[in-house]
Structure formats: C-alpha cells, structure tokens
Structure 1
C-alpha cells in the first residue's frame, strides 16, 4: 500500500509538471507570488539615452513573506518592460498572460543566482532599446528556469514610477561632418570640371 501511495504521489507530480509544460506559466498565476521588492534608479519621467545612460536596479525578498517562501528560487531574471502607454497599437509589444508569449518585458537586464538580499546591478541601457516608456520587473525562477514569483518597480496597473528611454537616432557628428565635406568636395569638383572644360573650349577657339 505504501508503494502504491508513493506511485500515486509521483504520478500526480509528473502530471502537474506536464500541465505546466503544456500550458506554460501565466502572469495572473504569479499575482499571489509578488514576493520581490524591486527598485530602480531612474526617477519618474526621467529620460535616459540608449547606449549612454545607466540604470541601477536593486532587489530583495520581501521581509513580510513567510519563512521558506523562497526555497525554490534559484535565479532572478531582471528585465526592462514596456509601460502600457508604449504598447498601444504595437502588437509586437503586446501583454499576454502566458509568459512564454508575453512581449511586455522584451529586454534583458541581467540574470543572477538568487539571494534574499544585497542584490544590485548597474546596466548601461542597450543601444538597441527603442524610444518608449518603461519600468523594471524581476522574476524569481526555479531550477528549471520556470518563473515562480516576481516583483516590479511600478504598481499593478503599471502607471507609477515610469521612466523613458530615448533611442539612438543613427546619426553621429562625425558622419555629419564627413557628409558635409564630401558634398563640398563634390561641388568644388563639379565647378572645377566646368572651368577646365571652358578653358579647353577657349583654347580650341584660338587655334
């Protein structure tokens, strides 16, 4: 009987794992597992320049949660996430409850081994981050890298503590100077060509 009970427990565990694999983890299922306290250095409304400015993120386990809550936490994945105002009419940034399909947090900041406290990381905003309004979210993950808890710098409606990133325009001063010099050289060369042709024509007329 004991062996049969063990088999039933094992079968139930495998079934739960199979269901989780098939359907994936949903963000709504994590709402009761908002156990991480996350802060970021940008102030509300601050504008950061991609490729230049940095974000310092800190995270820790909420001291009010029950002891042992974080027993399955193995890593923490910190991400830069779009605020709703920058998701409107942009399907490629769409929020989807199933986290495997969710596009809210499309930019990785760092993934580190889990520690209940003392976690800080400074990240230079990647050059490919587009202009938008953002917040920061951290996911606690288990040994299989499945998201089991989270925390974020904004409220549940994602309307507070938001900041902006200004993307790289693609133009640089050195390129602008080179373009101006090339254009000036082209104009001078064109005038020089006409001047030489005119001199040749006059020389032929005098012969």
Structure 2
C-alpha cells in the first residue's frame, strides 16, 4: 500500500514539474529589453520578392546588468499590424504566445549577442499584402520566449510599413500560355486542312 502511495505522489510531483517546465509563455509577462529598428520608413510600401528590409537589434542597457543572462538565441519576425488583423481570425493576437498569430513570418534566428546585430532580408514572395512591423524575441535555453523588442509602440500604431504581395500571373506563365494557345490553333488548322484534303481526294476517286 505504501508503495502505491509513493508511486501516486511521485507522479503528482512529476506532473507539477512538467507543467512548470512547459508552462505557456504569455506576451504580457515579457520585458521589452531589446531595442529593434528596421529600415522601412513609416508608411513605406515594399514589394514582395524584390525589396529588402534591414533589421538591427541590441540589448537595452537601461536594464540591470545580467538581465539578459538567460538569453541564448534571438528570433526576428515579421508581424501583422492591427489594421491587417481586423476580421481575420487566422491573424489574431493572443496573449498566450503558443496561440498568437500576430507574427507568422521568421526573418532570421541566430545566437544572442547584446550588441552589433544586423540582418538584411529580401522579402519573400509568399508574403501577403498587409501592414506590418518587426518584432524580435530573445529565447532561453529551452527555446522559450524570455523577452522581446519591436519597431512599433505598445499600441502597435507607430512605425508601420506596408508590403505588396505578388498578385496575378507571372510573366513566364503568360508566355507559356500564349505558346500553348498558338500551338493549339495551328494544330486545329492542320487537322482541318487534312480533313478537307481527304474529302477532296475521296471525291476525285
């Protein structure tokens, strides 16, 4: 009996430890210890697949020394501004980061350094048309978010920029489509000519 009680107690302890280790990180619990800037100016519109964004980030020295001691990696992300989240549940902001859909596109992930960090990113072709800002997360040894920084204010209303996604057909597709159409027309004319010729030869016989 005592063994059973010990087993149950052990499982409860392990369960509590697991919950503690794997607790969901909330955005509201994070300190804004990173200073982040990005090259686009307020209101600028970039083109997906063509333009570039240069992002810089560093540790905010106004925080006490050692605050960043647990930071191991930094993940920089492209995030939707509120104006591009309206009536779009698939972009909804949630305080629990595992459910948050604000920042869906990773720009870069690299080891943490408190200063002299910069990365130039060519906007990927699959980025949709929307209004954005840039956010960086500092990650701990467990790859969990430990702090953040972003190019906009807390209301996500300042320093926003637009991206124009690729729409319509690509030029190469239009060329291929035109070629196939021309081949189809020529084939149809060829069959029509052969059919008429066979009919004429049959009449001559």
With structure 2 as the length reference, what TM-score do the two structures score?
0.84
The residue aligned with 2:24 is: 24
Give the Cα separation in 2 of the matches to 1:143 and 1:205. 88
SS at match of 1:106: strand
1:111 aligns with 2:109: yes
Please list the CA deviations of residues 150-178 of structure 1 after superposition, one character each: whole Å capped at 9, or x if unmatched.
11001111111111222233622222111
What is the CA-CA distance between 1:83 and the residue it aligns to?
Answer: 0.9
Give the Cα separation in 2 of the matches to 1:148 and 1:174. 46
What runs of 5+ residues in structure 2 fail to find an aligned partner?
Answer: 1-13
What is the CA-CA distance between 1:48 and the residue it aligns to?
Answer: 2.2
Give the Cα separation in 2 of the matches to 1:19 and 1:34. 25
Residue 175 to residue 162, structure 1, CA distance change in 2 (3 Å): same
The residue aligned with 1:77 is: 75
With structure 1 as the length reference, what TM-score do the two structures score?
0.83
Please list the CA deviations of residues 100-132 of structure 1 after superposition, one character each: whole Å capped at 9, or x if unmatched.
111111111111211111000111222322222
Give the Cα separation in 2 of the matches to 1:17 and 1:60. 33
Please list the CA deviations of residues 45-73 of structure 1 after superposition, one character each: whole Å capped at 9, or x if unmatched.
22222232221100011232222222222
The residue aligned with 1:161 is: 159
Residue 60 to residue 188, structure 1, CA distance change in 2 (3 Å): same
Give the Cα separation in 2 of the matches to 1:59 and 1:128. 25
Q: Identify the range of structure 1 (168-177 vs 91-100) with the bigger mean alpha-carbon deviation.
A: 168-177
1:37 aligns with 2:29: no
The residue aligned with 2:175 is: 177
The residue aligned with 1:90 is: 88
1:102 aligns with 2:93: no
Give the Cα separation in 2 of the matches to 1:99 and 1:36. 18
Number of residue equivalences: 192
1:151 aligns with 2:149: yes
The residue aligned with 1:189 is: 187
1:61 aligns with 2:59: yes
Give the Cα separation in 2 of the matches to 1:182 and 1:131. 31
Give the Cα separation in 2 of the matches to 1:20 and 1:39. 34
The residue aligned with 1:7 is: none
Residue 20 to residue 164, structure 1, CA distance change in 2 (3 Å): farther
Give the Cα separation in 1 of the matches to 2:162 and 2:20. 35
What runs of 5+ residues in structure 1 fail to find an aligned partner?
Answer: 1-13
